[in-house]
A and B are shown apart, each in its own frame.
Chain A
Amino acid sequence: MSTAELNTPSLDRGLLRFATAGSVDDGKSTLIGRLMFDTKTIFEDQLEAIEQSSRSRGHEQVNLALLTDGLKAEREQGITIDVAYRYFSTPRRKFIIADTPGHVQYTRNMVTGASTAQLTIILVDARKGIVEQTRRHSYIASLLRIPHIAVCVNKMDLVGYDAQVFHEIADAYRELAAGLGIREVTLIPISALHGDNVVAPSGQMPWYGGPSLLEHLETVDVGEDALAAPARFPVQYVIRPQSEAWPDYRGFAGQVAGGTFTPGQPVVVLPSGLRTTIRTVDLFGDSLPFAQGGQSVTLTLADDLDVSRGDMIVPVDTPPAVTRELDAMVCWLGEKPLQVGGKYAIRHTTRETRGIVNAVVHKVNIETLTPVAGDAAVGMNDIARITLKTMTPLFVDPYAENRATGSFLIIDEATHLTVGAGMIVQRS
């Protein structure tokens, strides 16, 4: 990285959240173990513990995959069945991994892990090439709008580190990505087991001129999205100290959901439609010159307006859609199937309302990735396009433009379980 680049302030330089996906046995656990081992995130006591486990299971060498194993029951079953989070860092960046399993039935876990990811690693076994799971994971990555995809063609050692094998898979993948509208793909030939191109460049594949996986993770540019979007401030909590020191302070606390807010900026408060300007952007005694996407701050306004949790402060010239009709893609997470005509609680930004499912527009055939009209049976792990009507208006943007104001949860009103993850397709 050049010095000029290092000096460019970017909100997201310091932290990268990524998800991992692959079919069972493609080497995902080995890869994560390798990343953590080679970046010295594994400590001696942890290594000792996995050495012990490896021995007691009769493995000859230390099985790095055991490092990412989670809960007891799952350890006993020998599988990972949920999203687990891992952490490692290098001098350049801190990384948060959402580790999701590759099983067919766990689309919901991948969607969960993908929802906060800025990048996803998709593993492909060099001997098998692109398989149905690769397509499904790539589809979910595109549906969830993960900005970057890194395809690791793993087990290159088992195909003699052959350039031809890699290039054929790479070409096929680019075609798949283009079909799904994926903008940014990086393909890397690796061997997770031996560490080729994971952290250090591989001596075995001189024909590959690109970065190692870690180098890519360290340098990939993330952060433009949240800043380019129109400014959105869902009010989370109203701060009124009513103390001697602060008798009249009324601040609106929240996390900026896109764009930038500055003192003096003209804004409108939704749903009331009242206009005012931002007086200050506060954080713990500091008055900030601005607040950007992702920052948690407290805004004070020039006029004494009635603003409460669930309201949204937005710029006068680029407001979101104010609507009770939602057209959205959903991934169904609940065990009980989606009910057309059913009433659910809807949580969108800091707002909660109720909604009725009007119709299933189509269901996505997860094998062919094509829409199937006329199939309204949406069960766990299914993906469908639906329309909803809400009791009170929501302030929405298409998910493609803003992940924070374009996403919502569908909650079962009786069990309170989160049963669906929604992504708004367009303003309707």
Chain B
Amino acid sequence: MRLQEYQKQTDVHRDAVHLARLEAESIAILREVAAQFERPVLLFSGGKDSIVMARLAEKAFWPARIPFPLLHIDTGHNFEETLTYRDELAARLRCRLIVRTVQESIDKGRCVEEKGPNASRNALQTVTLLDALEEFRFDAAFGGARRDEEKARAKERIFSFRDEFGQWDPKNQRPELWSLYNGRRNPGESFRVFPLSNWTEMDIWQYIARENIPIPSLYFSHRRRVFQRGGTWLAECPYLTPLPHETVEERVVRFRTIGDMTCTGAVESTASDIHQIIGEVAAARNTERGTRADDKRSEAAMEERKRAGYF
């Protein structure tokens, strides 16, 4: 669908209403966790989903401060803009920001760096994350995952139970009825909680537009030196070595998701404001995960990582 067509067809009122309902549900989930758990934490990646989650948390507890810290698992391969954005946001929210790095985990011998041209630290994040959750004895960790992102997520609960090893067992999840959430647990057990479960990529963008939330400039069209690999444009950066047949060239691109530089693909785009992005998303023929190299590795890649304790 083209932009004009989309705007014409979209009942403006509808957007306001469905976003208000999603917002109300997410706020209720954030408050429920603050009430049922002793040490919640919000996993902040700097991506648009966690930015929206932080806004919802701000709303949920206003005029008080958000009653839990932010945790960033830093792969060491982040875009500079992401880190700046993260620090400014934490300062504005007057929230404690905890950063744990994959590099630290590697240095301590907790995990080993992948080798080869497709080496990524995405999988290693799991180790750093689980260690950080244990270090601070967090009993609930908010993640920004959405069920529309990937098949393995479609069955994920909003309150997702994890055993004492942080593992997810799809067969051992509690049924979730009405809006009643059962966060009871034994010592050592914990939950991942996904307040954005029912949001789609489009909802996220529309909400960012509605709320006028500033987002990192990476999401808007810009010139960047990139090279093509596995059907996506990867940014030229110190952590990636292009193979002999891969040529680096300058293109006008933007990012649909922001994560580890080694596996976050850019799309060619001239969308330079939020409304143009919304128009592009409406017309898009590929999922945003299609631009993430790590999810392409196997059909069940995400599911395997989830079992191991990834978000």
**A residues near B, CB below 8 A?**
6-7, 9-15, 40, 43-46, 49, 53, 68-73, 82-87, 89, 91-94, 96, 108-109, 111-112, 115-116, 236-237, 239-241, 243, 245-246, 249, 251, 253-255, 282-285, 294-296, 298, 309, 333, 345, 347-350, 403-404, 407-409, 411, 416-418, 421
Contacting residues of chain B (30-81) with chain A, CB-CB under 8 angstroms: 31-32, 34-35, 58-65
B290 and A245 form a contact (CB under 8 A): no
Most central of A85, A241, A254 by chain B CB within 10 Å: A85
B256 to chain A, nearest CB (A): 12
Contact (A243, B64) CB under 8 Å given A85-B154, A87-B147, A91-B10: yes
Q: B133-187: which residues lie under 8 A (CB-CB) from chain A?
A: 147-148, 151-152, 154-155, 170, 173-180, 182, 184-186
Task: Please give the distance in Å from B277's CB to the nearest CB on chain A.
Answer: 17
The chain A residue sitting closest to B291, CB to CB, is A45
Whether the Cβ atoms of B63 and A241 lie closer than 8 Å is: yes
Q: A13-B14, A45-B290, A93-B18 are in contact. Are A416 and B186 (CB under 8 A)?
A: yes
14 contacts between A and B (CB under 8 A): A6-B11, A6-B13, A15-B22, A70-B151, A85-B197, A87-B147, A91-B10, A93-B14, A239-B62, A253-B60, A254-B28, A294-B21, A333-B175, A418-B182
Give every chain B residue within 8 A of A409 (Cβ-Cβ): 177, 180, 182
Q: Distance (Å) between the CB of A410 and the closest chain B CB?
A: 10
- Count chain A CB atoms within 10 A of each CB in B6, B19, B31, B32 and give the residue with the most: B31
Using Cβ atoms and an 8 Å threshold, which residues of chain A touch B170? 71, 73, 82
Measured CB to CB, the nearest residue on chain B to A345 is B184
Could you tell me the distance in whole angstroms from the C-beta of A99 to the nearest C-beta in chain B?
8
What are the residues of chain B within 8 A of A109 when measuring CB–CB? 175
Please state if A421 and B177 are interface contacts (CB–CB under 8 Å): yes
Whether B200 contacts A89 by the Cβ 8 Å rule is yes
In Å, the complex CA distance between A404 and B28 comes to 13
Q: With A43-B287, A246-B63, A253-B31 in contact, do A417 and B10 touch (Cβ < 8 Å)?
A: no
Q: Which residue of A lies closest to B199 (CB)?
A: A87
For A53, the chain B residues whose CB sits under 8 A away are: 299
- Number of contacts between A and B (CB, 8 Å)? 191
Which residues of chain A are within 8 angstroms of B20 by Cβ–Cβ distance?
14, 295
Given contacts A44-B285, A71-B152, contact A284 B58 (CB under 8 A): yes
A368 → chain B closest CB, angstroms: 26
- CB pair B303 A255 closer than 8 Å: no
B9 contacts the other chain (Cβ, under 8 Å)? yes
CA distance A92 to B27 in the complex (A): 25
Interface membership of B16, Cβ < 8 A: yes
Separation in Å of the B213 CB from the closest CB of chain A? Answer: 12
Closest to B6 in A: A91
B27 shortest CB reach to chain A, Å: 4
C-alpha spacing A350/B36, complex, angstroms: 10
Chain B residues with CB under 8 Å of A46's CB are: 287
CB distance from A104 to the nearest CB of B (A): 17
Write out the residue numbers on chain B whose beta carbons fall within 8 Å of the beta carbon of A251: 63
A70 engages B16 (CB within 8 Å): no
B17 touches A15 (CB 8 A): yes
Q: Is the CB of A309 within 8 A of B176?
A: no
